[in-house]
């Protein structure tokens, strides 16, 4: 009988991800850096796996950086001695140990996939369904700013080769209408623009905005905090709709599909609890004909590797776009990260995630569990 691989230790690191452009702004929030948690799982066979979770500040979702580390501390001891390659069992143990809090479990789940890939000498995309698209279409975020600056950014980003854009809105409606129009008017023919409110509008404000920009060829993303509000706005608009923050599990996805309230779902790995549950929802969406933005809340090179593997294993016709966060941050937490070229991302074909942590940046672990 094959000897089982066992988790012998878990280390937790903390890194502050500072922004290249000075700040990142959306809806009513703005940050100069994000607090990211990176974990290392050590095993009895000498294989090490890595994962990362980085909530977008403490008031974006029911998730925050210190909470991720506190939750990991609750779970880590229970995982010692378990087989990291038996990922379904690992997820069952995590769910039975800590109810809810999926973001806490995401980095641990990703690290187990990294171990499984290394143990079987396969890149994670091969384990998630195979290489179904050779290059991953990226969108470029246009951080919320005055309309004139956002207008110049879309011009500059198009010169860099990007063709898909997610502009941040969700503030005062009359200014957001100006923002959307000024960016859309500078969009090259064939390029794609989404206006992402990140839950920032009230229902009546969202209806006002979508009515004012109804003549434009754009997408509207997550206008309001709740699914019910977003559904009302969707049925008052002729524009294609992306749902993000309110898509928290498979049940919410199925409800939105049944209500005809969504055209594209923004699938964030950390919000769902890791690659395992993200893959499940990805596969269901593909079977239902729903296209996907595949990304995460935020992160560095390690999160980007997880995003790239999931996107590579998604059928091209159902992949709407993805993000690469390491192009926005000044910090290099790992090497071997996905490469970016002319608006596309390509991940390593090395086993597992394909990354190697940069311990000069990670420093000493905050916590060690064994």
The residues annotated with a catalytic role in the active site are 168, 268
CA–CA separation, 9 and 333 (whole Å): 20
Nearest to 223, CA basis, from 212, 234, 238: 234
Phi and psi at residue 368, in whole multiples of 5°? -130, 130
Cβ–Cβ contacts within 10 Å for residue 187, how many? Answer: 18
* Angle 347-268-365 from CA coordinates, rounded to 5°: 75
The pair of three-digit structure tokens given for residue 194, joined into one six-digit string: 């989404």
């Amino acid at each position: 009988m094959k000897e089982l691989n066992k988790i012998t230790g878990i280390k937790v690191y903390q890194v502050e991800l500072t922004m290249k452009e000075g700040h990142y702004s959306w809806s009513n929030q703005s940050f100069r850096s994000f607090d990211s948690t990176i974990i290392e799982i050590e095993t009895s066979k000498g294989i090490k796996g890595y994962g990362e979770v980085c909530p977008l500040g403490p008031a974006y979702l029911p998730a925050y950086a210190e909470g991720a580390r506190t939750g990991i501390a609750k779970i880590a001891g229970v995982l010692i001695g378990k087989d990291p390659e038996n990922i379904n069992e690992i997820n069952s143990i995590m769910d039975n140990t800590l109810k809810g809090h999926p973001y806490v479990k995401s980095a641990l789940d990703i690290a187990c996939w990294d171990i499984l890939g290394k143990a079987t000498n396969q890149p994670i995309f091969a384990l998630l369904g195979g290489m179904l698209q050779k290059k991953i279409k990226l969108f470029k975020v246009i951080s919320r700013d005055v309309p004139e600056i956002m207008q110049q950014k879309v011009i500059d980003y198009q010169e860099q080769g990007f063709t898909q854009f997610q502009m941040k809105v969700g503030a005062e409606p009359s200014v957001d209408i100006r923002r959307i129009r000024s960016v859309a008017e500078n969009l090259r023919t064939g390029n794609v623009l989404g206006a992402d409110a990140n839950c920032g509008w009230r229902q009546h404000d969202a209806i006002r905005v979508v009515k004012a920009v109804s003549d434009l060829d754009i997408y509207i993303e997550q206008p309001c905090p709740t699914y019910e509000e977003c559904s009302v706005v969707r049925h008052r608009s002729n524009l294609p709709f992306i749902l993000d923050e309110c898509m928290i599990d498979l049940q919410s996805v199925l409800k939105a599909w049944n209500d005809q309230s969504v055209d594209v779902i923004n699938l964030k790995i950390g919000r769902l609890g890791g690659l395992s549950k993200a893959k499940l929802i990805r596969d269901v969406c593909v079977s239902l004909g729903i296209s996907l933005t595949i990304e995460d809340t935020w992160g560095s090179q390690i999160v980007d590797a997880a995003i790239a593997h999931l996107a590579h294993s998604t059928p091209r016709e159902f992949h709407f776009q993805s993000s690469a966060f390491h192009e926005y941050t000044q910090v290099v937490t790992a090497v071997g990260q996905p490469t970016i070229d002319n608006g596309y991302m390509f991940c390593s074909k090395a086993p597992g995630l394909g990354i190697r942590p940069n311990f000069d940046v990670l420093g000493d672990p905050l916590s060690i569990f064994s």
